[in-house]
Homo-oligomer: A and B are copies of this chain.
Amino acid sequence: MTDTGLLRVELQCVLCGAAHRPTVDASVCPRHEGLTGILDVIAPGDGTRSGAGSDPLDRYRARLPLPPGPRRLPSGYLTATPLLPAPRLAADLGVAELLVKDESRNPTGSLKDRASALAVELAAHAGFTDVACASTGNAASSLAGACAAVGLTARIFVPASTPVGKLAQLAAFGARVMLVRGSYDDAYDLCEEAARAFGWYDRNCAVNPYLMEGKKTCGLEIADQLGDAGADWVSVAVGDGCTVAALGKGLAEMRLPRSPRLLAVQPAGAAPIARAWERGSEDIVPVPARTVADSVSVGAPRNAVKALRAVRASGGAFLTVTDDEILDAARMLGTLAGVFAEPGAAAGIAGVRRARAEGLIGPGDRVVHVVTGSGLKTATSVGAAFPEVAPTLDAVRAVVGLG
């Protein structure tokens, strides 16, 4: 477990700046309370160069903490996800251009696949047989899928309230799941304790410094796809803070001439990072999380410091949106862009609408929105009230109203 140097990166504590050895199982800086001493990965290489191919772990290999030697997951397990112009949604939002980065195309339907693929490469390389994570759903299913692809055991801790679609995915991949009686925060703490006790590799994205580098590939890819034209904003919903921080890191590493600002959007019922932003502080006051956007329903976020700094460094902003605005945004994404997003993955669109109303985003702006996960996983919560008809043309005519 101590193959120092193999990963060819440096680790640095975000709180005190102390350097740490890049072992495969590196965790937090012990000088700080609990799990707050998050480490940051300082990657080598030239950020403006990309390799060939579509799989981001191949394409951006030079900038990732991948172990040496052949990959465990087949090349193509991850693929580049598309960045799709959505002119009708842009018109509805009142911006010049709206581009949807559709992360629901990932192997298990969410951006989390990028981090889990990296975790599985590291765990398998270091000889672990079990990989653990706590999750509101997407991180769990992504880990379960990647583990099944290479033959590792996924140990999953989810709140007992996790949507059925997400549990069904875990069952399909043969993951070992604990339904924890409690919140996501309870599941998280229990997972950390169990991983230490049983010697499981830790896939939690705040504590394991490498995993954010997997998510970073989404930012690298967006920058690659935007090219020199760049964009004004990238909007995304925020829960633990890892994803927005990783997007910011990836975008910054590519040094676009017109690098986008981050619009970091939290549901009003789970907005502890946005509240800290408003206070100009890095101190988080935990809240009881309550929102329809289960994938970002986090009351005690683990990566708030990195998130706050990434948004600030980009010249961006945090804001909050209501659950009604989130559900409306999901409808807009589906009907005006043809992308079926889970509520958490639509929150950023609600944020764009609000930022446009407040003048933060201008009518001439070019905006990227990241759909972090598929709406299929939460589909049972969507009511579909369609007309039932007898198999006759007259019955259809009555419904269509064409006489």
Contacts and interface: CB of A to CB of B under 8 A. Distances in A.
A19 interface: no
Given A88-B151, A376-B109, A377-B376, A388 B179 contact: yes
A396 B340 contact: no
B169 A375 contact: yes
Given A147-B338, A334-B148, A338-B146, A396 B178 contact: yes
A120 to B, nearest CB: 10
A74 to B, nearest CB: 5
A338 B399 contact: no
Contacts of A170: 384, 386
Interface string A334-357: 111111100000000000000000
A35 interface: no
Interface string A283-316: 0000000000000000000000000000000000
Interface residues of A, number: 83
A179 B386 contact: yes
Interface stretch (A43-51, A77-85, A257-265): A77-85
A168 B393 contact: no
Interface in A212-244: none
B334 A198 contact: no
A330 interface: yes
Contacts of A126: none
A172 B382 contact: yes
A375 B174 CA distance: 14
Interface in A356-403: 374-377, 379-380, 382-384, 386-393, 396-397, 399-400, 402
Contacts of A190: 389, 391-393, 396
Interface string A104-119: 0101110000000000
Nearest to A330: B172
Interface string A143-159: 00111111100010000
A164 B381 CA distance: 10
A372 to B, nearest CB: 15
Interface string A172-185: 11101111111000
The residue among A340, A375, A382, A392 with the most chain B CB atoms within 10 A of its own CB is A340
Contacts of A176: 400
Contacts of A180: 388-391
A336 B148 contact: yes
Contacts of A379: 164-165, 168-169, 376-377, 379
A167 interface: yes
Interface string A58-87: 000000000000000010110111111110
A3 interface: no
Nearest to A120: B338
Nearest to A163: B379
Ranked nearest first, the 8 interchain pairs of A and B with the lowest CB-CB distance are: A149-B338, A174-B335, A76-B82, A168-B379, A172-B334, A148-B338, A376-B376, A177-B386
Given A198-B400, A377-B379, 15 more contacts: A54-B80, A86-B149, A145-B340, A149-B339, A155-B400, A168-B376, A170-B384, A171-B382, A173-B340, A177-B386, A178-B399, A179-B389, A180-B391, A193-B393, A198-B402
11 contacts: A54-B54, A77-B84, A145-B339, A148-B334, A149-B337, A169-B375, A177-B384, A179-B388, A180-B389, A190-B396, A197-B396
Interface of A: 54, 74, 76-77, 79-86, 88, 102, 105, 107-109, 145-151, 155, 160, 164-165, 167-174, 176-182, 186-187, 189-190, 193-194, 197-198, 330-331, 334-340, 374-377, 379-380, 382-384, 386-393, 396-397, 399-400, 402
